[in-house]
């Protein structure tokens, strides 16, 4: 019997070596959990229910930025948002203090870069071609749109992608146009292992700029799934952000009592750069020092 076991073990070992030699790297193991099924109306209803349940959100996180080949050190950051479209995000470096602070009401944004004494004011759709820092093209609305708090409006049509991988549901969100044609505004990918969003592609009205967001490591707050790890990238602008959220720093639907939570004031001595009157990508605009 022992000889048989030894022979069997040797055979299995040889098969393993042969498989490794022929197949190169071993293939990753797929999750063992069974795939779950849901209809398109069920997917959209669950997505909208969770999105509608969030009226305000406060997050403590570590923010890491990458622009081109350059990766910038992670900064401790706080993100606040209140519906319908208010958002505030600021970051701090140890021993340096605040390195950026931004706010938006959905149309106009403000960005303060204290270490550069520069204060930007402009519309959310204004993007600069030449920047000194990747933070200068970071728009609060890009982050706000990526958070899973924006339901699919009833005015938009949805459809399932029949060519999606077996372990995913891909939902197209289409906006009817005045010309009779529909425009793709969002593509939401759900994992069939838990029916939660794992990716979202958001298309700008120009059809060129997109936001690609991925989500993982969900935690529940008031029964609402909140991803603890998010990556937001803007391929055309060439930057990406990773938001690693502290699970102890997640607060849902807690009112903000400070009167100016979502507005910024230019610091004395900073140069104010106004972008609101410019076409997207045209330049830096008017500069005036604040005294």
3-state secondary structure of 104: strand
**In this predicted structure, what is the pLDDT of residue 243?**
97
8 A C-beta contact, residue 137 and residue 237: yes
**In this predicted structure, what is the pLDDT of residue 140?**
87
Running along the chain, 291 residues long, what does each successive block of 10 average in pLDDT? 39 35 48 88 98 98 88 91 95 85 90 90 75 69 94 97 97 91 95 98 88 97 97 90 97 92 92 67 48 43
Task: Spell out the residues 6+ positions from residue 247 whose beta carbon is closer than 8 angstroms to its own.
Answer: 219, 228
Terminal Cα distance for the chain, rounded: 92
**In this predicted structure, what is the pLDDT of residue 288?**
53
**In this predicted structure, what is the pLDDT of residue 35?**
96
Nearest to 221 by CA among 261, 260, 250: 250
**In this predicted structure, what is the pLDDT of residue 205?**
85
Q: How many CA atoms lie within 13 A of 157 on its CB side?
A: 9
pTM of the model: 0.81
**In this predicted structure, what is the pLDDT of residue 21?**
38
**In this predicted structure, what is the pLDDT of residue 19?**
38
Give the distance, in angstroms, between the CA of residue 268 and the centroid of all CA atoms in the same chain.
33
**In this predicted structure, what is the pLDDT of residue 133?**
61
Nearest to 73 by CA among 94, 87, 55, 59: 94
**In this predicted structure, what is the pLDDT of residue 78?**
97
Q: Domains in the chain, start-ordered, CATH in brackets?
A: 54-152+217-274 (2.50.20.10)
**In this predicted structure, what is the pLDDT of residue 238?**
84
**In this predicted structure, what is the pLDDT of residue 39?**
98
**In this predicted structure, what is the pLDDT of residue 287?**
55
**In this predicted structure, what is the pLDDT of residue 237?**
83
Q: Is the dihedral of CA 104, 115, 281, 203 positive or negative?
A: negative
């Amino acid at each position: 019997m022992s000889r048989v076991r030894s022979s069997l073990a040797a055979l299995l070992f040889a098969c393993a070596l042969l498989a490794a030699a022929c197949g190169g790297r071993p293939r990753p193991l797929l999750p063992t959990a069974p795939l779950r099924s849901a209809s398109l109306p069920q997917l959209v209803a669950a997505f909208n229910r969770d999105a509608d349940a969030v009226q305000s959100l406060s997050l403590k996180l570590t923010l890491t930025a990458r622009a081109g080949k350059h990766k910038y050190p992670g900064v401790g950051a706080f993100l606040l948002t209140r519906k319908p479209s208010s958002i505030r995000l600021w970051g701090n470096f140890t021993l340096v203090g605040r390195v950026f602070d931004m706010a938006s009401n959905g149309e106009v944004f403000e960005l303060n870069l204290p270490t550069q004494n520069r204060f930007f004011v402009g519309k959310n759709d204004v993007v600069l071609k030449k920047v000194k820092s990747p933070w200068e093209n970071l728009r609060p609305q890009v982050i706000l749109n990526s958070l899973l708090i924006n339901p699919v409006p009833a005015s938009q049509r949805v459809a399932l992608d029949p060519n999606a991988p077996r372990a995913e549901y891909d939902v197209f969100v289409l906006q009817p146009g005045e010309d009779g044609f529909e425009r793709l505004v969002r593509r939401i990918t759900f994992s069939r292992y838990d029916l939660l969003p794992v990716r979202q592609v958001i298309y700008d009205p120009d059809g060129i700029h997109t936001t690609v967001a991925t989500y993982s490591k969900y935690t529940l707050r008031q029964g609402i799934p909140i991803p603890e790890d998010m990556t937001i990238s803007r391929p055309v602008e060439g930057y990406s952000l990773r938001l690693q959220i502290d699970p102890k720093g997640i607060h849902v639907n807690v009112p903000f009592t400070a009167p100016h939570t979502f507005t910024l004031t230019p610091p004395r001595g900073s140069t104010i750069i106004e972008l609101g009157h410019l076409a997207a990508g045209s330049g830096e605009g008017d500069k005036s020092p604040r005294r």
